[in-house]
A = this chain, B = another copy of it.
Amino acid sequence: MSGEQELGITESKEYNTGEWYAEVVQKAKLADYAPMGGFIVTRPRGYELWERLQDHLDGWFKETGVTNSYFPLFIPESYLEQEKDIVEGFDPEVAWVTHGGHDELEERLAVRPTSESIITPFISDWVRSHRDLPMRLNQWASVVRWEATETKPFFRTKEFLWQEGHTAHATNEGAWDEVMTRLDQYAKLYEDVLAIPVLRGSKPEHDKFPGADTTTSVEALMPDGKSVQGGTSHHLGQSFAEAYDVTFTDEDEDEQTAYTTSWGLSWRALGALIMTHSDDQGLVLPPALAPEQVVIVPIYNDENREEVMQYSSEIAAELQEAGVRVHLDDRDERNPGFKFNEWELNGVPVRFEIGGYEVEDEEVTVVHRPDGEEVVEDRADIADAVEEHLDAVFDKLYAAAEENLVENVRAVEDVNEILGTIGQHGGYVKTPWCGDDACEEAVKEKVHAEIVLVPMDDEAVPEAQLDDGEALELESDECTMCGEPAEEIAYFAKTY
């Protein structure tokens, strides 16, 4: 069942991205499809990626005043209905629990699609005075949204894992700081851990979180030219605080209404990770997330087996001592070629090849995963050298993703050119916009691209990343679609 034939990836990333993605996810043992459409099983190698991602983000949250908590899986229908006070036409697509054991419930319970409606009432209870603010709660949980779309592991599933943060603040400024702190942490996760550069901005009116004043997001460009919303941070203003009565007494003993925020990042980040870096040999992982950072493949024959294994074991022990996640593949029943393929499929960033020559010359042959670059290193310096190789792999991954982004942000000031550019190249098209939904609709209908972000200020979108900044300057201050004065700069893209 596990011969070499079955091991390799058969689909092409370039020509058949969707099938290729599904094949990588399954053959690298990250996830499998559950018996119910829309659900997946996250296997140990996939879950370990999520755990390492959690470790990073959770650490940053805690350093910046966030406390974890756990709220009920179910939300009574009447609680969810209360959001209708905030959002007209709110009609959640959720899974409903109607029976407990053999009895029908008096009130239906929604399986949480997000937890504002159950968490905000408790924040209201717990906040009394300005001394209780800011209050910052987070939970790592699974949520369910009953959307009928094709299953795509980590990108589109009815149940998904995420973290949801919910905070209350005494001032509007405090809430804004919170929104941007979390957006920056999401960007840091993508850029410094996942090796994916992102753009930051706010969402147009119709695409905001229901009830939010402002929804901000980080957006990552996939190799197929579509944008992924990588994490969102919402300024909820006072709308939720008013609806759920989150008030506090200020320093003068006057009652005030708080400002709230919420922010979330899901396992979609894993989808973006897999899609961005992997290739036709399988998974490619940045060293910070890889279950094994280095795999040692000993190459021996009957005569030198013992000395090659001895040499390899000593190196493995030394790396482990130095804090590197290293695996010595000592299986006798597999040949080196099979092992190379398997560990490439599994996304191990650095491979050590150790045979008779390496033992004799006291060296190690080091091979990088993304590009197969080979370097021979001295045995004596190997623990130091490996850190440099891991950094080099990270840099290669980031550079490739950055190149894809840089080449695919285009300034366009003619509506037909928007359609042509997105239709032909994908990527982002930057254009002046009046702010009216109708102007977005015109583009959306024709090329299925929408406004994925509006820069909040120059710093929010790292233009400096773009290598030809001047070519991206917009000349007009009129909306490209209607000719009215442009209030905003819009980034159009196709989306996941």
Contact = CB atoms under 8 A, between A and B. Distances in A.
Contact of A96 (B40, B50, B73, B97): B97
A94 B101 CA distance: 5
Q: Name the interface size band of chain A.
A: 35 or more
A34 B122 CA distance: 9
B128 A1 contact: yes
B100 A97 contact: no
Interface string A419-438: 00000000000000000000
B159 A72 contact: yes
A39 B98 contact: no
Among A35, A76, A137, A142, residue most surrounded by chain B Cβ atoms (within 10 Å): A35
A238 B109 CA distance: 38
Interface stretch (A62-70, A171-179, A209-217, A312-320): A62-70
Contacts of A73: 73, 111, 142, 144, 159
Interface in A138-164: 141-142, 144, 146, 148, 158-159, 161
Given A96-B99, A98-B99, A128-B2, A70 B161 contact: yes
A93 B98 contact: no
Interface string A84-124: 00000000011111111100000011010000001001100
Contact of A44 (B43, B46, B67): B67
B48 A68 contact: yes
Contacts of A76: 35-36
Contact of A100 (B47, B70, B146): B146
B74 A36 contact: yes
Interface in A431-487: none
Contacts of A69: 41-44, 46-47
A67 B48 CA distance: 8
Contacts of A67: 44, 47-48
A79 interface: yes
Contacts of A142: 70, 73, 141
Contacts of A35: 76, 79, 121
A205 interface: no
A122 B36 contact: no
Contacts of A118: 34
Contacts of A46: 69
Q: How many copies does the complex hold?
A: 2
Contacts of A125: 32
A263 to B, nearest CB: 17
B111 A97 contact: yes
Nearest to A147: B101
Interface centre among A43, A48, A118, A142 (most CB of B within 10 A): A43
A96 B122 CA distance: 26
B109 A100 contact: no
A289 B372 CA distance: 47
A70 B42 contact: yes
A403 interface: no
A407 interface: no
A101 B41 contact: no
Contact of A70 (B41, B96, B148): B41
Interface string A1-17: 11000000000000000
Contact of A95 (B42, B51, B97): B97
Contacts of A95: 74, 97, 99-100, 109
A128 B6 CA distance: 14
A357 interface: no
Contacts of A94: 100-101
A158 B105 CA distance: 14
Contacts of A338: none
Contacts of A126: 43
Interface string A230-271: 000000000000000000000000000000000000000000
Contacts of A101: 93-94, 146, 148
A483 to B, nearest CB: 41
A202 to B, nearest CB: 29
A155 to B, nearest CB: 16
Nearest to A34: B72
Given A32-B125, A41-B71, A94-B100, 11 more contacts: A32-B122, A35-B121, A39-B72, A42-B70, A42-B71, A46-B69, A70-B142, A70-B161, A93-B100, A95-B109, A97-B97
8 contacts: A1-B128, A35-B76, A35-B121, A36-B72, A46-B69, A47-B67, A93-B100, A97-B98
Closest 8 CB pairs of A and B: A44-B67, A100-B146, A42-B70, A93-B101, A96-B99, A39-B72, A101-B146, A98-B98
